[in-house]
Amino acid sequence: MPQARGDSHSTVPAQPTGAPDDLAPSAREAARAWDAEADAFDAEAHHALDEPTLREAWWDVLEGVLPTPRARVADLGCGTGSVAVLLAERGYAVTGVDVSPRMLELARAKARSHGVRVALRHGDAASPPIAPGSVDVVLTRHVLWALEDRRAAIDGWFGLLAPGGRLVLVEGFWHTGAGIPADELRALVERPGVQVAVAALDDPLLWGGPIEDSRYVVTART
């Protein structure tokens, strides 16, 4: 497959906002925090997705909730790019957005090592630098729970979708009290004309071992 080119390969139009200087103070703080975590991020098996069985387990989940390959996917809060690369390998046109410059450096290297193209942009997942109506899927994985205004973020994400597009939101609710209960997230995405489905993600293969907390994916199809 073609060599990765990072930002030089634009799969969807960029919104003319979201440059580093435009980040809100809370997003700048998050960028510093995630920069500090970036080099150790892939120590978690479900972050790296480099173990073949785990990787295929995630593909089985995503294949069941995504449209056919070649669809335009915005992976918001893409981190080190594991999911973005997985989808690019399957033929999706992927744009990854992350607030952490260091995470994006690692994502570029990962895309390059896998020989795929992923467009990577620096920005806040809550208000990503992606033009309205330009993607078929907005995908997040354990991102929404950490945002200050979840409803505003979801409203904005719906606005990024082309007609017939969908949100695919992987979230959880942990014993510590962090996260979002599935019924709460379902209520946030429900609106007239949108088909919402919730599926549990409790297969140990997805997480590198057994889990005790709630993990799930919400799909909202317009």
* Residue 183 CB neighbours (<10 A): 10
pLDDT, tens digit (0-9, with 9 covering 90-100), for 24-60? 888 898 889 989 999 999 999 999 999 999 999 999 9
- Segments of the chain scoring below 70 in pLDDT: 1-21
- Residue 6 has a pLDDT of 32
Q: For residue 76, which of 92, 98, 109 has the smallest C-alpha distance?
A: 98
Amino acid letter, 73: V
pLDDT score recorded for residue 159: 98
- Torsion, Cα 36 207 27 138, to 10 degrees, reads 140
Helices in 115-168 by DSSP H: which ranges? 150-160
Q: Which superfamily is assigned to 6-221 in CATH? A: Vaccinia Virus protein VP39 (3.40.50.150)
13/184 Cα distance (integer angstroms): 32
Show me where the domains of the chain are located.
6-221
Position 22 scores a pLDDT of 72
102's tokens: 């260091």
Q: How far is CA 195 from the centre of its chain?
A: 20
pLDDT, residue 13, reads 58
- Reported in sequence order, the residue ranges of the chain that DSSP labels E, i.e. its strands, are 72-76, 93-98, 119-122, 135-141, 161-173, 195-200, 214-221
Classified as helix, coil or strand, 22 is helix
